[in-house]
Structure 1
Amino acid sequence: MINVYSWPTPNGHKVHIMLEECGFKLGRDWQAHAINIGTGDQFTPEFLKISPNNKIPALVDPDGPDGKPIALFESGAILLYLAAKTGKFLPKGDRQKFEVLQWLMFQMGGVGPMLGQAHHFRMYAPEKIDYAVNRYTNEAKRLYGVMNQQLSRQRYIAGNTYSIADIAIFPWLRSWQNQGIDWADYPLLKAWFDKIEQRPAVKRGVAVLADLRKPLTDDKARDVLFGKSQYQKR
């Protein structure tokens, strides 16, 4: 049984979706353990042993590459691990593989951090800072434009085959309204998004732990996520 320590965020959903897309079934082949990042579960010694950066998701596979257990953190690394383990969603040929990997890195280095900042400054920052709101909203729009243009040449983000690049990017676009996006400006990306959203494994993946997540309204949760709790030495 693969154990996933997670929360219903874009990075968590990446791994949930990947497991389901690879044919692993929740409750049969893998188990989701809730790490409530609003109450500080990510700072427990037990979680830090497998995710020293105190971020979800993390994965423990008792049947690792050498037959021994392996623990992994970082969602992109987990996607690559599951792709290697199953032989799915990452092409084997070098050219196609590196085309997928560059778009996975695009998500890890651009889409995730920038859309996360747009979301933060538009929705969660304790004070409205126009410079930050405008900077990250404009960067979100730029990134959406890059992806929209990419889809003018092919069916999926990294080619004509569904891959871990699509799995990595999709969950981040589910909060498009909070990022200041108007889908009318990105029709090709919207068509891609709708297509991915209808995949049965994607539907199952985004439902994992979803009933546990509540709106971020209390000061304690804000402190745990964004304040001094995040920066204590451990």
Structure 2
Amino acid sequence: MLEECGLPYRAVPVNIGAGEQFQPEFLRISPNNKIPALVDPQGPDGQPISLFESGAILVYLAGKTGRFLPAGDRQKYEVLQWLMFQMGGVGPMLGQAHHFRIYAPEKIEYVINRYSNEAKRLYGVIDKRLSQSRWLGGDEYSIADIATFPWLRSWQNQGVTLSDYPHLERWFNTIAERPAVQRGVKVLAELRQPLTDDKTRDILFGKAQYERR
């Protein structure tokens, strides 16, 4: 979104494998200890504002720039319902598919099938929508597309064959060709590392994650 809007920004890495997301200074910005989070030194009233949750950040940036969220009520709510679909369905369910298919120490067939099948169902919902509409929110590219695309970049890890969803595949490839998207997916990419050691697993998935802070 920042690249699409041409906004100046500084990307600050948070090493979640080392537990930096639990540091007090980060929790003040993101109390749920998740990334991404945003700090805008020039908030709506001229004062700094911090935001967590990617959907809220996208709505904020759309309001700040007047881009990627229609002004008209009907069109706006069409976009927002698909943004909420990503936040309430696509993100949580595909995140669980990733976890149980790739990261869980015990491979439980029922759980893997449950979330893999849910991933396929969600892909089907998106594919049907995109058989009727060029973009998720209607005729124009919007924050609903911006929010959903990154989750589908890992379709292979979710047990999905992209070509089974031709309308979604067309949409996916169109977004992937956007120069701003190509720039955006490279941000901090060189710092990402595979999850390989028990200490990192404990920080991300063990008792450290569930401590009350």
Shorter-chain TM-score: which interval?
A: over 0.9
SS of 1:90's equivalent in the other structure is coil
Distance 2:200 2:70 in 1: 41
Structure 2 counterpart SS, 1:208: coil
The runs of at least 4 consecutive aligned structure 1 residues that moved more than 6 Å come to: none
Counterpart among 141, 145, 151 of residue 162 in structure 1: 141
Stretches of structure 2 lacking an aligned partner (at least 5 in a row): none
Alignment map for 1:136-215 (pairs within 5 Å): 136-215=115-194
Q: Secondary structure at the match of 1:83?
A: helix
2: distance between equivalents of 1:210 and 1:33?
12
Shift of 1:129: 0.6
The equivalent position to 1:228 in structure 2, one of 179, 196, 207, is 207
Structure 1 residue 233 displacement after superposition: 2.1
User: Which runs of 5 or more structure 1 residues have no equivalent in the other structure?
Assistant: 1-17
User: 1:23 is matched with which residue?
Assistant: 6
**Who is 1:38 aligned against?**
17
Query: In 2, Cα distance between the equivalents of 1:174 and 1:146?
Result: 17
Q: Deviations over 1:25-80 (max 9, x none)?
A: xxxx2100000111101000110111111111111111000111101111110000
Q: What is the identity, as a one-letter code, of the residue corresponding to 1:115?
A: L
Give the letter for the 2:164 counterpart.
Answer: D
Q: Which residue does 1:75 correspond to in 2?
A: 54
Per-residue CA deviations over 1:63-112 (Å, capped at 9, x if unaligned) read: 00011110111111000000000000000000000000000000000000
1:9 matched residue in structure 2: none
Whole-Å Cα distance in 2 between the matches of residues 233 and 117 of structure 1?
A: 22
* Separation (CA, whole Å) in 1 of partners of 2:103 and 2:96: 10
Tell me the number of residue pairs that the alignment of Structure 1 and Structure 2 aligns: 213
Percent identity over paired residues: 74
* In 2: Cα distance, 1:37 partner to 1:76 partner: 20
Match of 1:86 in 2: 65
SS in 2 for 1:72: strand
Pair 1:53 & 2:32 matched:
yes
Q: What is the match of residue 102 of structure 1?
A: 81
Offset at residue 137 of structure 1 (A): 0.3
Using the TM superposition, give the Cα deviation of residue 157 of structure 1 relative to its aligned residue in structure 2, in angstroms.
1.0
